Amino acid sequence: MRDVCVVGAGMSQWGEVWRKSFRDLFVDAARAAMANAGVDHLDSLYVGCMSGGLFVGQEHIGALMADYLGMAGIPAAHVESACASGGISFRQAFIEVGSGVSDIVMAAGVEKMTDCDGDEATAALATAADQEYEVFHGATFPGLYAMMAHAHMAKYGTTREMLTAVSVKNHFNGSMNPNAQYPFKLKAKTVDNSVMVADPLHILDCSPITDGAAAVIVCSEDVAKKTGKPYIKVKGSAVATDTIQLAQREDMTTIKSATIAAGKALEMAGIKLGDVNFAEVHDCFTIAEIMVAESIGKYKPGKAGPAFVAGESALDGVFPINPSGGLKSKGHPVGATGIAQIVEIYKQLTGQAENGRQIQGGPKVGMAQNMGGTGASSVVHILEVA
């Protein structure tokens, strides 16, 4: 397999973007990525989207987006793995370029979540869980992660202070991200006093409902060099799956799919986790960031929470996590999230992170971990400076 690079990245506005349609969000991100990369054509397009069908009644998304990008004719496909759809989109582009089938591929992700009411959005998101044996009984996504949180608290003594630390840190980072939906800092007591959604998770433990898109240009090193723009290399890529139902996991306090995918991606990259300088992880809920940091092997079970309270995951900590602000502050347009993680890693590794969000000391290697449902799928990528 030949070397695969990322040479440009773009995002649309993220938030409750009432003036922009599903297709406009995609086109905004796609144009930004192509301009940033300095490329004027694509060999093919992948669009990660969890559920255009349920959120806006639109499928056939690959063709739609290629058409409105002004490129009808190119190969295009929609890929889906719930909230990990973006990560899968990036992996498909990586495989297509690595195999030599294409030289320039766009990996994009998009979700338009506010064209339906909250009840419909909750129902659409719930399709990432087992419809017949979890959702049927009244489980919601905050509820499922709340059950994981209670199990983690009971087994390891994880506390409210540790969960709150994740939210406060991500909002601090996101306050410096011009694309973030909620670019403001939060005080710990604001998180602690926010409305309880599903015990023990408060509303400020949860990522929001977001409209948004993100896109990156994945290409061969020859193409990357010709653009004259800064580029990075994709060193490892892996996906793993697990039981769809939480109840059927041997251990509900760990994300096995993240463990498997991280291990395989590191093996492919030929490096150890200690060589990775920072990570963007899937903090759909505060407990998820704690569980993922442990599941990828960065911390022993039960040790991530105390380390986060001590500041180890802060921008200036030993292992910064979610310098972008994460899903919590930046927003979580589910199909776009996995691509936005790559956007942030591209910016960090090429020294382009805005407003003081740049990790100091010249990070060389970043990891992206994107997951679907309660961890029934996980995608991990390792990216490195060229």
Counts of helices then strands in the chain (DSSP H, E): 14, 11
Residues 200-229 that bind other proteins (CB under 8 A): 200-201
Of 42, 106, 166, 198, which one interacts with other proteins (CB under 8 A)? 198
Interaction between residue 150 and other proteins (CB under 8 A): yes
Q: Which of 363, 311, 107, 140 is nearest to 219 (CA)?
A: 107
Residue pointed to by tokens 């463990």: 259
- Catalytic status, residue 60: no
- Sign of the CA dihedral with 349 first, then 353, 358, and 359 last: negative
Contacting residue, 159, 241, 245, 358, with other proteins by CB under 8 A: 245
**Least distance in angstroms from the C-beta of 140 to other proteins:** 6
Which of 28, 80, 134, 283 contacts other proteins by CB under 8 A? 134
Closest by CA position to 384, among listed 357, 359, 356, 364: 364
Contact call for residue 316 and other proteins (CB under 8 A): no
Instruction: Say if residue 200 is preceded by a cis peptide, omega within 30 of 0.
Output: yes
> What is the DSSP annotation of 150-208?
HHHHHHH---HHHHHHHHHHHHHHHTT-TT-SS-S---HHHHHTSPEEETTEEGGGB--
Cα of first residue to Cα of last residue in the chain, in angstroms, is 17
Q: Which of residues 7 and 139 has its CB atom nearest to other proteins in the complex?
A: 139
Please select the residue that binds other proteins; options are 4, 47, 64, 135, rule is CB under 8 A.
Answer: 135
Segment near other proteins (CB under 8 A), from 38-46, 136-144, 280-288, 311-319? 136-144
Residue 137 or 189 having the CB closest to other proteins: 137
Q: How far is the CB of 253 from other proteins (least distance, A)?
A: 9
Among 19, 40, 132, 189, binds other proteins (CB under 8 A): 132
Count of residues touching other proteins (by CB under 8 A): 35
Q: What SS3 state is found at 82?
A: coil
Near other proteins by CB under 8 A: residue from 1, 35, 72, 154 = 154
CB of 326 to other proteins, least distance (A): 22
Q: Are 346 and 36 in contact (CB under 8 A)?
A: no
Helices of type H across the chain = 22-37, 52-55, 61-68, 85-98, 118-126, 141-156, 160-174, 188-192, 221-227, 256-269, 286-295, 304-309, 326-330, 334-349
Q: Least distance to other proteins from the beta carbon of 150, Å?
A: 5
Tell me: does residue 146 bind other proteins (CB under 8 A): yes
Q: Is 5 a catalytic residue?
A: no
| Piece of 41-49, 194-202, 207-215, 267-275 that binds other proteins (CB under 8 A) | 194-202
Does residue 133 bind other proteins (CB under 8 A)? yes
Do the beta carbons of residue 206 and residue 285 sit within 8 Å? yes
In this structure, are residues 304 and 253 in contact, taking their beta carbons and an 8 Å threshold? Answer: no
- Applying CB under 8 A, the span of 19-27, 65-73, 107-115, 144-152 interacting with other proteins comes to 144-152
Catalytic residue list: 83, 332
Residues lying near other proteins in the complex (CB under 8 A) are found at 119, 122-123, 126-127, 131-140, 142-143, 146-148, 150-151, 154, 195-201, 245-248, 252
